[in-house]
Amino acid sequence: MDVSAIDHVNIRIPTDGVEDAVAFYRDALGFEPENLDRFRDGERTIFSFRLNEDAIIHVRPVDTFSPPDGEGFDHFAIVVDEPIEAVRERLDDAGIEIERDGNPLGATGRAPAVYVRDPFGFLIEIKTSEPAE
């Protein structure tokens, strides 16, 4: 198998959490929703947020949602093409608390990162594309 990238991540949220997802992923982080109108019209069971041309987050609202409990899920990581200070400023402007900072090793090497939680308890690592000094 010759993998080129991760295509998407699927998360489940509570059925009443759609507007919270839009406020967090679109309004605060800047990811454009896809198929949200089709979801709201009952044509689809999921909607998505576009991270870039090659990656999306699928969101499936469910009646039986259970937030991550730290046993089976730790976090997912995204890489952004902006300095960590710009990321911090955007999060601060959006009122999103940074849980911790890091310089984690990942597929692209070590780089500065911050960790935030979405409204449903999912931990997200936002890592810069700039290598750590």
Q: What pLDDT, on the 0 to 100 scale, is given for residue 3?
A: 64
Averaged pLDDT for residues 97-117: 91
**pLDDT tens digit sequence for 60-75:** 999 999 888 877 778 8
Q: What pLDDT, on the 0 to 100 scale, is given for residue 107?
A: 83
Split at pLDDT 50, 70, 90, the class of 6 is confident
74-133: CATH topology is 2,3-Dihydroxybiphenyl 1,2-Dioxygenase; domain 1 (3.10.180)
Cα-based distances in Å from 104 to 52, 77, 80, 99, 111: 22, 10, 14, 15, 6
Please name every residue paired with 109 in a beta bridge, in sequence order, or none if there are none.
106
Split at pLDDT 50, 70, 90, the class of 16 is very high
Q: What is the pLDDT of the chain when averaged over all its residues?
A: 91
Q: What pLDDT, on the 0 to 100 scale, is given for residue 106?
A: 86
**What percent of the chain is modeled with pLDDT above 90?**
72
Domain spans of the chain, in order of start: 1-63, 74-133
Averaged pLDDT for residues 90-117: 92
- Same CATH topology for 1-63 and 74-133: the answer is yes
**What percent of the chain is modeled with pLDDT above 70?**
95
Name which CATH class applies to 1-63.
Answer: alpha beta
